[in-house]
């Protein structure tokens, strides 16, 4: 199967903030303006209230969630062999295998639902291991299959009927002996002997096959119709007809339908490799979540697998990236943070600027590529800058961020101060969220030597709400820190109005590290940090620098 190039995934970090989501959407839009259909934005986690407000305000669809970028079955150039109905003959199935150079065919029912598979070995079994002369009846063979295999003509009977009783007999004996051999509903292969034909019909046979293009006597035909006996004429001789007749059996009789090994489109390649290595089958069916047949995959298809192509925005840390990033092909990185731990196999386009927001860089790229920006995209990028810089109050904010936001505000037709307050109020509503949701809504991890550090930031314009959240976070982290994959946890509770933060510390020596790093005195495990609102510029660099000396 020849697969079209899949769109490049543009995605931000886990626990995405407004910049991560808006930059992914706007950058994918830019790439698609230049190369239509080349990119698709995704999100690596749930949206916070602030980001939901922004998307709703500008009527932009939420990006689809992607939980990992591991290579999946859908990324393989698997074979899209059409499924066959369960009533086609063994002969037709064999013919299709030859035409398709396939050893396995999928058998499908209504709505393309997978019912089973038929293999070359199954067809061989139908020839070598079947000796029952009533096999056509057991298999409920359609008369249409019988006519097709014998290259014959049905001169009496209904082609849509099925053989449900009787065995196959060759009418080579005289009428006296024929009467002893035949039973009701049998299928009789006969030549041009009219007396034998009449005898068989009178005995109640269900079908008569006339070989060598023997003419049909009018009296025989009339009697056959009266007794509801099907009549088939064929140019084949009796030996050939008897040899080929079993090829009319429908594939459903021999197909495998129990304990089928199937794969789904979203199964990872690593998981199917392990299963394939333990089974001797050559081909495996692929189905979707509802069991609809999609194609066939074999070991040789794994040689042509394609890694997912990804563009990362607003981060370059492996710990913050979507799961499976080491198995993907990173094409670009657009970021404004410190250099992280991500590694790439080949050189990539990496744009990292010391500005307060990734959206600022994205808008620069619109202008550099001479691309117009819509009201919606301008609104998203402006919102991202307002969010990351706290309306230009954050120390991470640069003159370029502020100038860019003001220009975008004009294109988006918004008033900066009023819109920012609406956005902050929507985002600072923390009620109704579980402790886990509060902790993870803006949580990032970092590595210093062998020590893992987690920093969560929760912002609000309501001081009483922050006090309530502080108590909840104390209980939540104290209970769960031992199960976390980091050793030190810090939580920033940022008051947007007063431009200050409370910093909560958890873990062995976490409080002492915090006091030393910020030259502050902690009350229990909490430090008050006036003027500190930026995790990226005011907290993480200070903590990392101090810990590099201590650890």
What is the tens place of the pLDDT at every residue in 199-225? Answer: 889 989 999 999 998 889 999 999 999
Can you tell me which residue has the tokens 């386009």? 349
Instruction: Check: CB of residue 456 under 8 Å from CB of residue 443.
Output: yes
Does residue 266 surpass a pLDDT of 50? Answer: yes
Q: How many residues does the chain have?
A: 551
Task: Answer yes or no: pTM beyond 0.85.
Answer: no
Mean pLDDT (whole number) for 354-363: 97
CATH 3.10.580.10 positions along the chain are: 74-127+253-304
Does residue 346 surpass a pLDDT of 70? Answer: yes
Q: The tokens of 516 are what?
A: 């030393």
Segments in 173-261 forming alpha helices (H)? 175-181, 194-202, 218-226, 238-244
Segments in 207-300 forming alpha helices (H)? 218-226, 238-244, 269-278
Does residue 129 surpass a pLDDT of 70? Answer: no
Average pLDDT, the chain: 91
* Model pLDDT, residue 175: 65
Instruction: Find out if CATH 3.40.1390.20 is the number for domain 140-248.
Output: yes
CATH 3.10.310.20 positions along the chain are: 435-550
176 — pLDDT class (breaks 50, 70, 90):
low
> Which of 22-31, 249-258, 487-496 has the lowest average pLDDT?
249-258
**Of 528, 529, 492, 485, nearest in space to 507 by CA:** 485
Quote the CA–CA distance of 363 and 62 in Å, as a whole number: 20
Q: Which long-range contacts (CB under 8 A, 24 or more apart) does 58-67 make?
A: 58/375, 58/376, 58/379, 58/380, 58/383, 58/412, 59/376, 60/25, 60/376, 60/380, 63/21, 63/24, 63/25, 64/40, 66/9, 66/11, 66/42, 66/322, 67/322, 67/323
CATH 3.90.1640.10 positions along the chain are: 8-71+308-427
64 alpha carbon, distance to own chain's centre: 12
Helix (H, G, I), strand (E, B) or coil at 71: coil
Does residue 3 surpass a pLDDT of 50? Answer: no
Instruction: Find out if CATH 3.90.1640.10 is the number for domain 8-71+308-427.
Output: yes
Instruction: Find out if CATH 3.10.580.10 is the number for domain 74-127+253-304.
Output: yes
* Model pLDDT, residue 132: 74
Mean pLDDT (whole number) for 266-291: 87
Mean pLDDT (whole number) for 392-409: 95
Does residue 171 surpass a pLDDT of 50? Answer: yes
Mean pLDDT (whole number) for 515-544: 94
Instruction: Find out if CATH 3.10.310.20 is the number for domain 435-550.
Output: yes
Instruction: Check: CB of residue 518 under 8 Å from CB of residue 547.
Output: no
Does residue 193 surpass a pLDDT of 90? Answer: no
Segments in 10-61 forming alpha helices (H)? 18-34, 49-57
What is the DSSP track for 490-501?
A: EEEEEETTTTEE
CATH 3.40.1390.20 positions along the chain are: 140-248
Can you tell me which residue has the tokens 């619109």? 366
């Amino acid at each position: 199967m020849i697969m079209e190039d899949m769109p490049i995934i543009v995605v931000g970090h886990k626990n995405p903030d407004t910049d991560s989501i808006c930059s992914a959407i706007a950058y994918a839009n830019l790439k698609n303006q230049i190369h239509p259909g080349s990119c698709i934005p995704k999100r690596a986690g749930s949206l916070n209230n602030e980001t939901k407000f922004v998307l709703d305000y500008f009527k932009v669809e939420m990006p689809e969630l992607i939980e990992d970028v591991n290579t999946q079955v859908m990324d393989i150039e698997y074979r899209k062999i059409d499924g066959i109905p369960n009533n086609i003959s063994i002969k037709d199935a064999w013919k299709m295998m030859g035409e398709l150079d396939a050893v396995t065919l999928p058998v499908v029912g209504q709505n393309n639902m997978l019912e089973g598979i038929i293999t070359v070995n199954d067809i061989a079994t139908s020839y070598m291991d079947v000796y029952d002369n009533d096999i056509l009846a057991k298999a409920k063979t359609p008369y249409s299959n019988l006519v097709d295999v014998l290259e014959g003509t049905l001169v009496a009977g209904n082609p849509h009927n099925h053989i449900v009783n009787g065995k196959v007999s060759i009418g080579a004996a005289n009428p006296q002996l024929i009467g002893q051999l035949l039973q009701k509903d049998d299928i009789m292969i006969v030549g041009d002997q009219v007396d034998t034909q009449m005898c068989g019909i009178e005995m109640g046979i269900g079908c008569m096959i006339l070989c060598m293009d023997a003419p049909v006597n009018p009296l025989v035909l009339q009697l056959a119709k009266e007794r509801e006996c099907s009549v088939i004429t064929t140019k084949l001789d009796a030996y050939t007809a008897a040899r080929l007749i079993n090829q009319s059996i429908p594939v459903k009789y021999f197909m495998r339908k129990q304990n089928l090994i199937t794969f789904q489109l979203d199964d990872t390649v690593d998981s199917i490799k392990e299963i394939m290595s333990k089974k001797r089958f050559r081909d495996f069916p692929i189905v979707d979540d509802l069991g609809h047949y999609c194609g066939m995959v074999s070991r040789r298809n794994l040689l042509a697998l394609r890694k997912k192509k990804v563009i990362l925005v607003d981060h370059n840390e492996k710990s913050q990236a979507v799961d499976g990033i080491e198995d993907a092909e990173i094409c670009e990185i657009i970021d404004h943070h410190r250099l992280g731990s991500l590694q790439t196999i080949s050189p990539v386009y990496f744009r990292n600027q010391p500005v307060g927001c990734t959206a600022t860089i994205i808008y620069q790229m619109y202008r550099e590529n001479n691309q117009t920006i819509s009201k919606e995209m301008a609104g998203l990028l402006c919102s991202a800058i307002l969010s990351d810089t706290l309306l230009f109050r954050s120390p991470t904010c640069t003159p370029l961020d502020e100038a860019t936001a003001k220009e975008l505000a004009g294109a988006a037709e918004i008033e900066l101060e009023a819109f920012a307050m609406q956005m902050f109020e929507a985002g600072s509503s923390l009620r109704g969220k579980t402790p886990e949701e509060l902790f993870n809504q803006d949580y990032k991890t970092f590595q210093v030597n062998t020590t893992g550090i987690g920093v969560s930031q929760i912002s609000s314009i309501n001081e009483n709400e922050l006090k309530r959240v502080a108590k909840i976070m104390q209980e939540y982290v104290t209970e769960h820190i031992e199960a976390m994959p980091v050793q030190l946890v810090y939580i920033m509770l940022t008051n947007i109005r007063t431009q200050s933060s409370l910093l909560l510390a958890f873990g062995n020596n976490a409080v002492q590290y915090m006091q030393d790093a910020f030259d502050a005195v902690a009350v229990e495990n909490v430090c008050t940090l006036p003027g500190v609102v930026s995790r990226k510029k005011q907290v993480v660099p200070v903590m990392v620098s101090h810990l590099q000396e201590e650890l």
